[in-house]
């Protein structure tokens, strides 16, 4: 796959000619209407084998080969040029595809209320071919250890038809929020734990889950060791039944990081006990906070670097958002929350407002600003092909197990094309 960033004057016609493909192929891959104008700064994934590179000042065959993980001799041979050829600025080089690496991919899917919308089900159906796990969110623990299930609808059939496994997500959500009090009951009352584990195992067998995933959040620091002890107990029970166990971890950068979200999440213990973990490396920019990139690569890397001091890389799934936010400025704490939107919706909004999309190279994230009909300024941060490729490069660089998406339902077709282009997704 090729990532192309739209420049002033670009059209689908000249882009297709540049890469030797068709307008229809580009439109289909990016799920765009070819009759609509492109947005300056918009990324397009070009569905070709390998990619093209256009020579920049200072480039040589050697430096370009290093950039793409090949040799200058191979580049010369593939492009039918001498190894000592002087590269003109703008010269088009063909870069052959790199070998894919194996990876695990999970995606949470969160039905709202008691039903699964057709849109959400279709989103799961589109994503399932690219997933190792499909994770309905979530089975909520009651105070007596019983479980309140999410609606599953056709999720099991969708997973089975695409060689994906179901992940049983267990949370301490209560009345729409993570409950510290409920978490304490689960972690300290043995009778509740025993009932809970019995119910988890029975549910896993009945429905066909293969992994049990604990997402216990907002636990007090005093429950840190109790959580570790519970996980050891759960792991022993689940292993006896042939079930894997994983956990979700808040995005920490040190063992002593303070705050209710972080203190009870012991990276070293989870890395020892669980089969794998999901690092929740997103929501730096969130609906109730000031405008920021949702998963800036520089901050994500800090979390991963710390995690690697506590657990092996092959146990880590990198968390990744599939959405962005539109903030109204000036930001006021406690004011109206930012509006969530998909990458596709963000591009459509930039087109509607006739503004260019910019790119923060430190955060590796696209953004733009605009003024609405009432004169209020807005700031939008979202994901595009460049930002998701940066995460894939990080996974490959550090040898991580794979990726975990929060959450299905908002369209981001480029992600799935690039995921397939970078990795051989494990099917269990």
Q: Give dist(CA 108, CA 414) in Å, integer.
A: 18
Q: How far is CA 247 from CA 126, 171, 211, 241, in A?
A: 25, 10, 10, 18
**Site of tokens 């929501």:** 283
Query: CA nearest 297: which of 360, 344, 381?
Result: 360
Instruction: Compute the distance between CA of residue 373 and CA of residue 371 in angstroms, rounded to an integer.
Output: 7
CA atoms within 13 A on the CB side of 316: 29
C-alpha of 353 from chain center: 27
Task: Say whether 368 sits in a helix, a strand or coil.
Answer: strand
- Cα separation, 303 vs 239, in Å, equals 29
Q: At what angle do helices 224-240 and 190-207 cross, to 10 degrees?
A: 40
Residues recognised as catalytic: 217
Q: What span, in angstroms and rounded, lies between the C-alpha atoms of 75 and 96?
A: 8
For residue 334 the two structure tokens come to 């406690």
The DSSP code sequence of 261-297 is: TTTT--HHHHHHHSSEEEE----SS-TTS-S--SS-H
Helix axes 23-30, 12-19, angle to 10 degrees: 100
């Amino acid at each position: 796959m090729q990532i192309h960033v739209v420049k002033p004057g670009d059209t689908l016609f000249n882009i297709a000619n540049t890469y030797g493909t068709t307008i229809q192929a580009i439109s289909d891959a990016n799920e765009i209407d070819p009759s609509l104008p492109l947005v300056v700064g918009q990324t397009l994934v070009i569905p070709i084998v390998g990619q093209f590179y256009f020579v920049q000042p200072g480039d040589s065959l050697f430096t370009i080969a290093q950039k793409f993980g090949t040799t200058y001799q191979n580049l010369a041979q593939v492009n039918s040029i001498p190894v000592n050829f002087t590269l003109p600025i703008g010269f088009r080089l063909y870069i052959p595809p790199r070998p894919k690496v194996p990876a695990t991919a999970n995606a949470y899917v969160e039905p709202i209320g008691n039903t699964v919308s057709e849109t959400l089900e279709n989103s799961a159906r589109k994503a399932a071919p690219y997933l190792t796990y499909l994770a309905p969110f979530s089975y909520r623990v009651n105070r007596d250890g019983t479980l309140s299930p999410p609606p599953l609808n056709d999720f099991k059939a969708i997973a089975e038809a695409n060689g994906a496994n179901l992940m049983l997500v267990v949370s301490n959500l209560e009345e729409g929020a993570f409950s510290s009090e409920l978490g304490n009951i689960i972690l300290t009352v043995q009778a509740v734990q025993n009932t809970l584990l019995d119910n988890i195992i029975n549910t896993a067998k009945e429905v066909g889950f293969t992994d049990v995933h604990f997402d216990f959040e907002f636990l007090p620091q005093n429950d840190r060791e109790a959580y570790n002890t519970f996980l050891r107990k759960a792991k022993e029970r689940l292993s006896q039944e042939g079930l894997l166990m994983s956990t979700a971890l808040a995005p920490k950068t040190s063992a002593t990081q303070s705050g209710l979200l972080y203190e009870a999440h012991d990276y070293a213990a989870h890395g020892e006990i669980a089969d794998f973990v999901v690092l929740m490396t997103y929501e730096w920019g969130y609906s109730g906070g000031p405008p920021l990139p949702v998963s800036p690569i520089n901050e994500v890397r800090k979390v991963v670097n710390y995690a690697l001091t506590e657990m092996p890389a092959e146990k880590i799934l990198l968390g990744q958002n599939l959405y962005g936010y539109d903030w109204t400025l000036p930001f006021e704490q406690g004011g109206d929350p930012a509006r969530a939107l998909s990458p596709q919706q963000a591009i459509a909004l930039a087109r509607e407002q006739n503004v260019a999309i910019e790119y923060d190279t430190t955060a590796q994230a696209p953004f733009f600003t605009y003024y609405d009909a009432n004169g209020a300024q807005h700031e939008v941060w979202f994901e595009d092909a460049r930002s998701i490729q940066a995460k894939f490069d990080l996974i490959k660089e550090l040898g991580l197990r794979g990726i975990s998406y929060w959450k299905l339902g908002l369209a981001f077709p480029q992600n799935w094309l690039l995921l397939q282009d970078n990795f051989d997704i494990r099917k269990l």
